[in-house]
Chains A and B, each alone.
Chain A
Amino acid sequence: MDRRQFIQAGGVAALSCSSISTAFGQDKTPIKVGILHSLSGTMAISETALKETALMTIADINAKGGVMGRMLEPVVVDPASNWPLFAEKARQLLTQDKVSVVFGCWTSVSRKSVLPVFKELNGLLFYPVQYEGEELERNVFYTGAAPNQQAIPATEYLMSKEGGAAKRFFLLGTDYVYPRTTNKILRAFLKSKGVSEKDIEEVYTPFGHSDYQTIVANIKKFASGGKTCVISTINGDSNVPFYKELGNAGLKAKDVPVVAFSVGEEELRGVDTKPLVGHLAAWNYFMSLKNPQNDAFIKMYKDWAVKQKMPNADKVVTNDPMEATYVGIHMWKQAVEKAKSVEVDKVIPAVAGQQFAAPSGYTIKMDETNHHLWKPVFIGEIRADGQFNVVWKSKGPVRAQPWSPFIPGNEKKPNSPV
């Protein structure tokens, strides 16, 4: 069944439902749900999987009776990795399609470009990707990690004896808002831990940079001054050439570990991981976690991939933003059921405090005030098969700090939308 047939079938089912239900005077019309992910352009590599996850979750909810007896009807649009187009498509979803909620966006710049639209039209957005924080909007729920749920614990781990007791830090990122802000926070954090300025090196590359020879040579040179680790916020396609260069230059994880915040199972599919064993990633979910929720989640996605005839369906993987999408949709569903309405103004207060048994193995909660999830933090080492071994985890879910205490001026900002 392809998407169109699926939507048609959903529509037919919903229509027949509505004709029956008028007899009971209950609303059985389908609820429209927007999905705003790039299906073409540079971000398609990451965002296509999120669209699939959202469709899968919606189909699963529909198969189990929908929300308050109403079916969900997904409306998929393609903003084509074009930031202004994100805003246009968001406006179209809210005004023409009149969706009740939108799940979407990946890069921070795309989120920033749709924000004014959601505020103006009082829409509701669930944003599923780890980001730099420094934002708290009434119309948005953030199901990805804030810096204190990913970057800070990972850096602390590398400084510990277990993580190799790193003394020098090479901060490497793609040149845009997320890496720059994260590195600003990390720099302040490292200084608070007594790391001196000369032991921190910050390097940026353009989007799509593919020649990492000089940078890898510089990492080696920097590492000769003491135990070094690399903190990578390289985003998108550039990761493959970077890791290939690392492998070929013989930079082993036990000498200079690299921890990445944007590299997960999906990104490693394009890489031969044998030379990368031991390099790290910090996330709030790994596919290799063993618990019943995760087993069910992985099986559901694998079955979905086969059913949708996705290319390489036998090799699909799940990752952190996919889990965050799945959790986000369920949080919204529970909130709608609590509010007994899909009206944005009624749903927003109902989302606060919702709990859900997530594939990460924890029952995680939407914070009562700050629109962010409490999330467990995992640090994983890359295995030869492209999966991760968890080598450290937080003691239970951690509350998000959207306003990082390491950025001056944040102390006075309230922990709830204004």
Chain B
Amino acid sequence: MLLHFLRALACVLALIAAPAWAALDPSLVAQLGAEDSDARVEAIRKLVATEDPRVVEILKALDGDALALIDSGKRAVVVADGKLSDAATGQPAGAAPANLETIVINNRIRGEVGAALAALRLGSSDRAERLAAAKELQGSDNEDALPILERAMAKEADPEIKSILALASASLALKSSEPELRARAARALAASNDPQVRQLLATMLTKQKDGSYNEPDETVRAAAQASLAEINARLRTTEIGLALFSGISLGSILLLAALGLAITYGLMGIINMAHGEFLMIGAYATYVVQGLFRTHFPGAFDWYVVAALPVAFAVTAAVGMALERGVLRWLYGRPLETLLTTWGVSLLLIQASRMIFGAQNVEVENPGWLSGGFVLGGGYVLPFNRIVIVLFALAVLAAVWLVINRTRMGLFVRGVTQNRAMASCTGVPTNRVDMLTFGLGSGVAGLGGVALSQIGNVGPDLGQSYIVDSFMVVVLGGVGQLAGTVIAAFGLGSIAKFLEPWSGAVLAKIMVLVFIILFIQKRPQGLFALKGRSAEA
């Protein structure tokens, strides 16, 4: 009680003293670099309580590795562009010495700084900034921020921010010494979706080492239990939706990996073991385009992925056509030799990329619009890159379908696939069609590579991890059928994702393989089979 009174008094004093903030206590600022983390936390909390406008700058510097101690640890300075300025006053303090070491912070301090900055931003005039600050404060345990929070709540007009602030102050009230207040806070928190709040409530219900509960009062525990159950029930639908989405997302990746193969293997009947390496070439093309954008058009960096699409398509299509003209066309009708040859080509391509780009993975950065995600509540997030990849897979699928079914070239492809001799008789240049079809299949694989570079590794072995999955999808879907490939990709993705929570990732993979073996036993032609005379060819 006394503590609370003192704290309130300190706040009042701080408010009275407000017009005279000019001087922050330099020793308090220097305490931010103390050896002991407890002392640092204390310094942060005290600095926030002063509400001095300089505090924001100091804390931002601390967060950004730009605060350092000089004069044998007595004075804190902000380092910017090789120049120093006194942290407490903002006055310039000369040039930075060469071996100046900034203050290193760990997760505990980083969390504390984040909450402190959020508390200070609550007074901002920008609504988005206040909203972000209020969200950050949910689940914080900095009791010193309570007065700031309460004042912000009184001033706040926006109902959304106000309700979040109410939840934030409720989670702080869980620390109150009065059971009545704690129980009320626990009941109020039922409306929260924040994962930190769930953690706070769950902690109250667990036992300490000596067997007593963390929360001594039984009525408070009951209230916490009820709130927790309510939150969990609300989040259950979100969880199911999320599992469904991960299935679709995995399916879209399988589809992108397998679509090119559905053309080269499905339509042309070439067993191309180097298919995975076309994915890899597409991913490396993305990496190269990223490098070009970084050096030549840094302003448009966010759009490098879009620019990488045509590049990746062109490069892989060219490699594919070269492979078809140079090697594969001599091997038509000899599947075993084709298999071995393309496997050799795949090894060649892997080693070539290892020599050009090195054995290590290269970094492909997600552009801003592909980072982060769509927040569902309860801490669940739909990542933007996965949403975009699902849409992209559908777009590529639509494009391939249009090419095959609605263009003259597509007509030739279908004609050659169904009856090569007859197509040739009617004047279709079958050699050219073979080359272009193989190029199309390879190019589509290159597009898949661009997408894969956004979620996984870009390295010489990238293709190896997708080749088996791709063949699985095409064989399961039925050779020669785009629709089968689509259904097989999404089906396998969803099955894998629904099995995973129960069986674990290792067993899920085995179960999917067993399922495919059984299915192929029963239906060797796959989900969809070509009908008519062409089927025997």
Task: Report which A residues bind B (CB closer than 8 A).
Answer: 39-42, 44-45, 48-49, 161-164, 167, 175, 194, 203-206, 208-211, 213-215, 217-218, 220-221, 223-227, 237, 240-241, 244-245, 247-250, 253-255, 257, 266, 269-272, 275, 277-278, 290, 310-312, 381, 383, 389-391
| B477 close to chain A: CB less than 8 A | no
A and B contact pairs by CB, cutoff 8 A, 10 listed: A161-B37, A164-B107, A206-B505, A208-B464, A213-B497, A217-B380, A224-B198, A225-B202, A250-B372, A254-B108
User: Are A218 and B456 closer than 8 Å at their CB atoms?
Assistant: no
Which of A194, A237, A277 sits near B461, CB closer than 8 Å? A237
Known A213-B249, A223-B199, A381-B107; contact A45-B384, beta-carbon cutoff 8 A: no
Are A381 and B106 in contact, CB atoms less than 8 angstroms apart?
Answer: yes
Q: How many Å from the CB of B102 to the closest CB on chain A?
A: 10
Shortest CB distance A235–B (Å): 13
A175 CA to B496 CA, complexed, in Å: 17
Picked from A48, A215, A249, the residue with its CB within 8 Å of the CB of B381 is A249
Size category of the B interface is: 35 or more
Number of A-B contacts (CB under 8 A): 178
> Nearest chain A CB to B169's CB is how many angstroms away?
20
Q: Indicate if the CB atoms of A227 and B203 lie closer than 8 Å.
A: yes
Residue pair B381, A248 in contact (C-beta under 8 Å): yes
Chain A residue at smallest Cβ distance from B228: A224
Q: How far is the CB of A194 from chain B (nearest CB, A)?
A: 6
Which of A45, A227, A257, A271 has most chain B Cβ within 10 Å? Answer: A45
Q: Indicate if the CB atoms of A240 and B497 lie closer than 8 Å.
A: no
Query: B360 touching A248 by the CB < 8 A rule?
Result: no
Chain A contacts for B250, CB-based, 8 A: 211, 213
- 18 new A-B contacts at CB < 8 Å, known A214-B497, A269-B363: A44-B460, A45-B461, A49-B360, A161-B37, A204-B506, A205-B506, A210-B455, A226-B206, A241-B455, A248-B366, A248-B371, A248-B384, A248-B386, A249-B383, A253-B110, A254-B114, A270-B363, A311-B356
A248-B373 contact given A44-B460, A162-B106, A224-B195, CB 8 Å threshold: yes
Q: With a CB–CB cut-off of 8 A, which chain B residues contact A194?
A: 209
Chain A residues with Cβ below 8 Å from B107 are 163-164, 253-254, 257, 278, 381
B37 contact set on A, CB distance < 8 A? 161-162
Partner of B457, one of A40, A204, A237: A237
Chain A residue at smallest Cβ distance from B206? A226
Given A204-B506, A206-B509, A213-B249, A241-B456 contact (CB < 8 Å): yes
At the interface, yes or no: B89 with Cβ under 8 Å from chain A?
no
Which residues of the partner chain B approach A311 to less than 8 Å between Cβ atoms? 355-358
* Least Cβ–Cβ distance between B512 and chain A, in angstroms: 11
For B350, the chain A residues whose CB sits under 8 A away are: 40
Residue of B nearest to A49 (CB): B360
Q: Which residues of B contact A215 (CB under 8 A)?
A: 500, 505
Structural contact, B358 and A210, CB atoms closer than 8 A: no
**CB–CB B457/A240 < 8 A:** yes
Q: Provide the bound-state CA to CA distance between A255 and B202, in Å.
A: 15
Q: Which residues of B contact A275 (CB under 8 A)?
A: 371
Residues of B within 8 A of A218 (CB): 501
Residues of A within 8 A of B456 (CB): 210, 240-241, 244
Beyond A194-B209, A250-B373, is A220–B455 a contact (Cβ under 8 Å)?
Answer: no
User: Is A310 a contact partner of B358 (Cβ separation < 8 A)?
Assistant: yes
Q: Interface segment, B143-151, B239-247, B429-437?
A: B239-247
Taking a contact as CB atoms closer than 8 A, the residue among B108, B460, B465, B497 that contacts A210 in the complex is B465
**A248 contacts B383, CB within 8 Å?**
yes
Could you say which residues of chain A place their CB within 8 Å of the CB of B509?
206
Give A250 to B374 CA distance when docked, in angstroms. Answer: 10
Contact of B239 among A221, A290, A390 (CB under 8 A): A221
Interfacial chain B residues near A245, Cβ < 8 Å: 383, 455
Q: When each residue 385-409 of chain B gets 1 if its CB lies under 8 Å from chain A and 0 otherwise, what string results?
A: 1100000000000000000000000
Give every chain B residue within 8 A of A254 (Cβ-Cβ): 107-108, 110-111, 114
- Could you tell me the distance in whole angstroms from the C-beta of B344 to the nearest C-beta in chain A? 14
B383's nearest neighbour on chain A, judged by CB, is A248
Contacts of A214 in B (CB 8 A): 243, 246, 497, 500-501, 505
Chain B residue at minimum C-beta to C-beta distance from A198: B206
Cβ contact within 8 Å between B354 and A44: yes
Interface centre among A162, A204, A390 (most CB of B within 10 A): A162
Complex CA distance for A270 and B290, rounded to whole angstroms: 14
Q: Give the residue among A203, A224, A247 with the most B Cβ atoms within 10 A.
A: A224
**Minimum C-beta distance from A149 to chain B (A):** 21
The distance in angstroms between the C-alpha atoms of A210 and B110, with both chains bound, is 30
Residues facing A in B103-119 (CB within 8 A) are 104, 106-108, 110-111, 114
Contact of B82 with A by CB under 8 A: no
A352 to B55, CA, bound (A): 55
Report the separation of the CA atoms of residues A204 and B510 in the bound assembly, to the nearest whole angstrom. Answer: 13
A278: chain B residues within 8 A (beta carbon): 106-107, 110
Residues B365-385 near A (CB distance < 8 A): 365-366, 371-373, 375, 379-381, 383-385
What separation, in Å, do the CA atoms of A124 and B360 have in the docked complex? Answer: 29
Per-residue CB contact flags for chain B residues 454-494 toward chain A (1 = under 8 Å, else 0) read 01111111001100000000000000000000000000000
CA distance A247 to B454 in the complex (A): 12
In Å, the complex CA distance between A277 and B199 comes to 22
A390 to B106, CA, bound (A): 9
Give the Cβ gap from B204 to chain A, nearest Cβ, in Å.
10
Residues on A with beta carbons closer than 8 Å to the beta carbon of B50: none
Docked Cα-Cα span, A186 to B365, in Å, equals 34
Contacts of A205 in B (CB 8 A): 505-506
Q: How far is the CA of A8 from the CA of B360 in the complex (A)?
A: 28
Could you say which residues of chain A place their CB within 8 Å of the CB of B209? 194
In the complex formed, the residue of B with least CB distance to A175 is B506
Q: Which of B108, B350, B385, B460 is the most central at the interface, judged by chain A CB atoms within 10 Å of its CB?
A: B108
- State the 5 A-B residue pairs at the shortest beta-carbon distance, nearest first: A270-B361, A311-B358, A248-B383, A254-B111, A213-B246
Output the least CB separation between B312 and chain A (Å). Answer: 19
A298 to B243, CA, bound (A): 46
* Residues A226 and B203 in contact, CB atoms below 8 Å apart: yes
Question: B360 near A45 (CB under 8 angstroms)?
Answer: yes
B residues within 8 A CB of A49? 360
Chain B residues within 8 Å of A383, by CB = 65
Residues of B within 8 A of A44 (CB): 354, 359, 460
Cα–Cα distance between A406 and B381 once the two chains are bound (Å): 39
In the bound assembly, the distance between CA atoms of A227 and B355 in angstroms comes to 45
A225 adjacent to B363 (CB under 8 Å): no
Residue of B nearest to A249 (CB): B381
Min CB gap B450→A, angstroms: 15
Across the interface, which residues of B come within 8 angstroms of A42, CB to CB?
A: 461, 464
Instruction: Determine if B362 and A270 form an interchain contact, defined as CB atoms under 8 angstroms apart.
Output: yes
Contacts of A244 in B (CB 8 A): 366, 455-456
On whether the beta carbons of B351 and A40 are closer than 8 Å, the reply is yes
A97 to chain B, nearest CB (A): 24
A391 contacts across to B, CB distance below 8 A: 104, 106
Once bound together, how far apart are the Cα atoms of A225 and B203, in whole Å? 7
- Note all chain B residues with C-beta closer than 8 A to A203: 504-505
Closest to B457 in A: A240
- CB-CB < 8 A to A167: which residues of B? 203, 206
